[in-house]
Amino acid sequence: MKKTYKIEVDCANCANKMEQAARKTEGVKDAVVNFMTLKMSVEFLEGYDHKEVMKNVLVNCKAVEDECEIYLK
């Protein structure tokens, strides 16, 4: 499953940090952050609850960029 989320981040470097943090989160197969559109696309591994995984993605992203935000659906 793949979902796209609106994000808030201040710079391209911060967006890159968010992307790397998201990719390292358990349950994430792949993640891509587009700074220009302020969107994060996340592909989830089969068998994981995307809502729970995204809570962990947000925690991991805030650990590397505390002012970022991911608007979970």
> pLDDT tens, 12-66?
999 999 999 999 999 999 999 999 999 999 999 999 999 999 999 999 999 999 9
The amino acid sitting at 33 is: V
- pTM to 2 decimals? 0.93
Give whole-number Cα distances, 21 to 16, 48, 50, in Å. 9, 18, 16
Q: Does domain 2-71 have CATH number 3.30.70.100?
A: yes
CA triple 27-32-38, angle to 5 deg: 120
Rounded Cα distance between 27 and 44, Å, is 6
Domain boundaries, the chain: 2-71
Rounded Cα distance between 31 and 60, Å, is 13
